[in-house]
Amino acid sequence: MKELIHIHTYLMDANEVGEWEGQEALAAEHINQLFHAVYDHADHDIEVTRLEQMLESVWPNWQYNPQLLELDDDMVDAFVEALFNHFDPEQGQEDF
């Protein structure tokens, strides 16, 4: 089901991320890295609505986080793991 979601729908460019003190291109690059990491980590048979919810939660969680500019692979991995744990249907959690 994953193939029904077009990741490009979620990707952002520098003029969409808001003010990052001249680092808007870097912020956009990093937020897109997170979107791709979530999408890539999802199983091919994931429910479309579940993956959409996860992708839609990426920006609100990073929108005002100054660490977005310092994003590294460890941070990406930790975020993706936390996101998938949170949206695990067996966990029963609602808000991330």
pTM score:
0.91
Name every residue whose Cβ is closer than 8 Å to that of residue 26 and which is 6 or more positions away in sequence.
20, 69
- Per-residue pLDDT reduced to its tens digit, 64-95: 999 999 999 999 999 999 999 999 877 655 54
Residue 36 CA to residue 79 CA, distance in Å, equals 12
* Residue 68: other Cβ atoms inside 10 A: 22
Name every residue whose Cβ is closer than 8 Å to that of residue 93 and which is 6 or more positions away in sequence.
86, 87
* Residue 14: other Cβ atoms inside 10 A: 14
Residue 55 CA to residue 38 CA, distance in Å, equals 7
pLDDT confidence tier of residue 1, bands split at 50, 70 and 90: confident
pLDDT score for 81: 94
Of the candidates 36, 41, 17, which has an alpha carbon nearest to the alpha carbon of residue 27?
A: 17
Is residue 96 predicted with pLDDT exceeding 60?
Answer: no
Could you tell me which residue, 15 or 96, shows the higher pLDDT?
15
The half-sphere exposure of 42 on its side-chain side, counting CA atoms within 13 A, is 26
